[in-house]
């Protein structure tokens, strides 16, 4: 079987986006860049056209191919964070340079790609096999009011504090 990986379409800055992402996440690097040939619509000859990179071990491919398609929140990367410090670090890094906060742990970076920055503890509280349904409902209700997820507030809601 082949390898399944995401392919992202950017208007004109796939290489810049890839550089940004690999600077944030460990185990990441740009592995290949194909430059645009002549006569490509919406693409200048010689500009970075297709960018292949590894993002924390996940193969990703991106293309700079003009404005006919746009990234949107129908696709997002989930950043599974160990703790609040990791949530804070990735949240701030992904927002750098003009990203937008959304809600419930979601943000859109300056290139238009959506991310979910989620502490593992939140998923344990709400979806874990041993989660108390009432506590999970309280934690979920609090999560729905948050922008960046706050582990301590979710745990307090779960406990009923």
At residue 16, the 3 state secondary structure works out as helix
Name the domain count of the chain.
Answer: 2
Q: Is residue 124 located within the same domain as residue 151? A: yes
Q: Which domain holds residue 45?
A: 1-69
| Claim to verify: residue 78 and residue 153 sit in the same structural domain | yes
**Are 56 and 83 members of one domain?**
no
What is the distance between the alpha carbons of residues 93 and 117, in angstroms, rounded to a whole number? Answer: 11
pLDDT of residue 127: 92
**pTM, two decimal places:** 0.94
pLDDT value at residue 2: 77
| Same domain flag for 44 and 57 | yes
pLDDT by residue for the chain (161 residues), tens digit each? 678 999 999 999 999 999 999 999 999 999 999 999 988 888 889 999 999 999 999 999 999 999 999 999 999 999 999 999 999 999 999 999 999 999 999 999 999 999 999 999 999 999 999 899 999 999 999 999 999 999 999 999 999 99
| pLDDT number for residue 148 | 98
Length of the chain, in residues: 161
Residues 87 and 161 in one domain: yes
88 and 136 in a single domain? The answer is: yes
What are the percentages of helix, strand and coil residues in the chain, rounded to 5?
30, 25, 40
């Amino acid at each position: 079987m082949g390898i399944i990986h995401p392919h992202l379409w950017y208007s004109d800055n796939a290489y810049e986006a890839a550089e940004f992402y690999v600077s944030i996440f460990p185990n990441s690097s740009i592995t290949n860049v194909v430059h645009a040939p002549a006569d490509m619509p919406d693409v200048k000859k010689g500009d970075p056209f297709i960018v292949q990179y590894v993002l924390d071990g996940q193969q990703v491919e991106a293309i700079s191919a003009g404005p006919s398609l746009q990234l949107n929140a129908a696709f997002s990367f989930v950043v599974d964070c160990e703790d609040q410090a990791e949530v804070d670090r990735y949240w701030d890094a992904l927002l750098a340079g003009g990203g937008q906060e959304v809600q419930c742990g979601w943000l859109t970076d300056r290139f238009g790609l959506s991310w979910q920055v989620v502490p593992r503890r939140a998923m344990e509280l709400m979806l874990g096999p041993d989660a108390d349904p009432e506590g999970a409902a309280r934690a979920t209700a609090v999560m729905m009011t948050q922008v960046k997820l706050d582990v301590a507030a979710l745990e307090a809601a779960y406990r009923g504090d």
